Structure 1
Amino acid sequence: MRNHLTHSRLRVIIVEDEAPARSKLNTQLAQMEGVEIVAECADAPQAIHDINSLKPDLVLLDIELGELSGFDVLEAMKHPCHVIFTTAYSQYAVKAFEKQALDYLLKPFDLSRLRHALERVVLAQPQAAEPATVQFTAKVGDKIRILQSSDIRFVRASQGLVVAQCLEREHHLDDSLESLLNQLPSSFLRVHRNSIVNTQHIHQIEKWQNGALLLRFEGVNDTITTSRRGAAVLRKYLNL
């Protein structure tokens, strides 16, 4: 795989309350070309100040930071930049991706895993970024409605119909699931032969029968049950 880091310059801030973990991250990043550590922060207030003043490209953000959490830091950030969470706790993964985290690294992670995450940051820079949302058309009676992919919770095929579930209602689409998957942003995953889900709107994940998962979404009552293989795909995507 091409090393995109050698052709870019990433300005990184480390936010980690434990000194050994900060030191390890510093050592790992020092082994990568194209990475500049602009600050190391041991608590949330310092992190908020440094992020907003130094304007990094990327923040490596721990979640457990004492009285305030990494999510509090995220809410207080005025400078838009990429965020990769680094934590020993898997239970925050769904919330992290809801907050638009680019990746979620479970400690302990090795240099290869960290490098892969930073490659994703480079590929997600504005000049290489995919569209944040994609437009689709749906028929509503004798009218045509323009849908934004960011509004879609999931897409399901049933009895020859392909239906996109949005917040206010469902819409019938003319495209096949295969065609839609090729057009939708990478936050959409096929978790069953009959369904595609928008991971950014997953509100809750429950264990289901035979290794499957039951997915609940923001603002809608309908749920999606993954296949066993789809559950594995989702777990891998969310690093669960």
Structure 2
Amino acid sequence: MGNKTKVAIIDDEKLAQDIVANYLKAHEDIEIIAKCSNGFEGIKIINEQKPDIVFLDIQMPKINGFEMLELLDETPVIIFSTAFDQYALKAFEVNATDYLLKPYSQERFNEALSKAIIQLKNKDKYNKNIQSLISHLDEKPEYLDRVVVKDKQKISIIPIDDIKYLEAQDDYVMLNTSHGKLLKQKTMKYFERHLNPKDFVRIHRSYIVKSDFIKQIELFEKESYRAILKDESKLPISKTGYDKLKNFFNQ
């Protein structure tokens, strides 16, 4: 029993969980240690029970499979499952990460499982593939409607509308929200790409501000400006940022 490969199944559809469990009956060296139907439970199971392999659905409510990746203490070998998503499929193929496109056969399932077992023996290489996958997915051309942040053991889902401004903090970005401050391990470049430019403006290399949270712009020193926000915060504006603000408000 102790030598069996430990598996967890995370999918919001019970039928999908049952299909994976049924296909695993053909593999006596596999032990299912947990099943769950949402990302919050999934993170807890992975961090506490440490399965070797996880069958992970991408499209789930609350937290999707990709958002989960960034919140794990340690990443197991993951076999993703998804309905058709062209961008995700390309990302998997580029980064040598296996996936199951629903619906799938026992034969295709066995193939993915065999590959995952091989990857277990070379976790360093696999972890690099996962990081590469996350980087690839960060390039997806779409605007965010929320940000998922883990602060110690607490997971927060921040609607984009709640963000007042963002501040660069070394390898992190500080999200200043209606309910306080939270750190997210992303870059300013990432947020500049994924925040709708109709709502957010990068006013400085260290600051991105929600446009309707700007109260006024004032001359600070000779040819220098700063933004006064509705909470009375004062943020520096670079020359490039000032040009962006002029263009933004003249639209």
RCO comparison, higher one (Cα < 8 Å, 6+): 1
TM, length-normalised to structure 2: 0.47
